Chain A
Amino acid sequence: MPSDPSQPHATERLQDDFDLPDNLAALSEQLAADAARLAERYPALHGLHAKLPAAQTQTLRQRVWRWSARAASLAAIVAGAWWTAGQFEVGGDRQAQSSARSTASQGVHDASQATLPSPRADQRQFVSADVPTSGRSSSRDRPANHSQAVSAGPEDLNPPPLRRGSEVELLNAQLQAYQSVIEAMQEELARREAQQAKTEEQLELLRRQVADLEQRIERQER
């Protein structure tokens, strides 16, 4: 292993265990020289870049957006299930039915909205507005007997797929989990953005210092 990985190695190493014809060896030396020149001209800004993982922030932003979209579509499924339950209820609470319907329409609206915003949009607002939480409140209004409900419903000629109560609960639990993941990611994103802003300030300071130094050098040269 070389002692200093950042330094160009001795060119003798190029010839160690594989005899290249002269013309190819010359080419290999030129390659090494070109690489060294490039590295010298564009050194890695490790100090700054280690503190400013822009790519990581970007990835996180995309992940928040993806999870938000998933949560919104899941909300639509849950709301759809409640709507279905409300549709086939016999003599159920009218108010609960209308609330389930409004949740459903909100969920479908959210699902369609979920594909619209760009990953760079403000996710905080997007998530809080798009994930309905009222679906669980009408659990007492679920039909006790689905077969009875279906037979009594007016749309039984072409009924939408009916979900069992346990499945709805599971989806609700999943939705809650997604929400908590999104919240955690948003917090992390905010933290990273604050860190990025701080590093940009440092960078600006450094730029000013460089400009100042350049001016001084100019003055001295005069």
Chain B
Amino acid sequence: MVPIDVQLAADEHFERIHRAALVLTGNPWDADDLAQETFLVMAREAHRFAGRSQVYTWLYGIMLNLERRRRRRAGMSRAKLRVLWDHTVHRSEDSPAAEAAIEVDEWKHSLWSLVATLPDGQRQALVLRFSEQLSYEEVAQALECPLGTVKSRIFHGLAALREMTTLRKGDVRHVPDHPYEDLNHAI
């Protein structure tokens, strides 16, 4: 076991964990919670850090596990709500931030909102590689999987993303320039 200076680790890595959380969740409030939760887990489980990887790859691993659990929980509660109320608002089903009214517009219009619809493995690999710009070895350490798997996930993730962007270009939607534009139309 390798001792970790919790305060130092938080000072050094909070921003990068928060950034990855922001990209994954799509809103700063969830990102704040997720990043904080990651460091709480780190503080609690610091004695388990074996030192086989860098502290930040270990932290990414914790954060991704927490995020996956959150998504699952959100999905379950959504499913329960559907049973109670059949009448639901139509929204993008797989987006983790779809439930929150306080979504970030930039995120919705960025490629990351499409990444959010990919399977867990691809999504996480893409975030670590292209948002956090970790090397493939580091991504493999954080995700605890072989290097080849990481490369394959990234390739297939990008390919799926390309397909989605092609579809999105074909499906031209009107995006209001101003939040009140739709309201004016309605009136």
Q: Which residues of A contact B (CB under 8 A)?
A: 1-2, 5-6, 8-9, 13-14, 16-18, 20, 23-24, 27-28, 30-32, 34-35, 37-39, 41-46, 49-50, 53-56, 59
Contact = CB atoms under 8 A, between A and B. Distances in A.
B36 A44 contact: no
Interface of B: 10-16, 18-19, 22-23, 28, 31-33, 35-37, 40, 54, 56, 104, 106-107, 110-112, 115, 126, 129-133, 135-136, 151, 154-155, 158-159, 161-162, 165
A54 to B, nearest CB: 7
A49 B155 contact: no
27 contacts: A2-B133, A5-B15, A5-B56, A13-B135, A18-B136, A23-B162, A24-B158, A24-B159, A27-B161, A28-B158, A31-B111, A31-B131, A31-B161, A32-B133, A34-B111, A38-B110, A39-B22, A42-B31, A44-B19, A44-B32, A46-B11, A49-B32, A50-B10, A53-B36, A55-B40, A56-B40, A59-B40
A18 B130 CA distance: 13
B69 to A, nearest CB: 14
A38 B21 CA distance: 11
A35 B131 contact: yes
Contacts, number: 112
A189 to B, nearest CB: 15
B86 to A, nearest CB: 28
B22 A38 contact: yes
Contacts of A8: 133
B133 to A, nearest CB: 4
B111 A30 contact: yes
Contacts of A17: 135-136
A31 B126 contact: yes
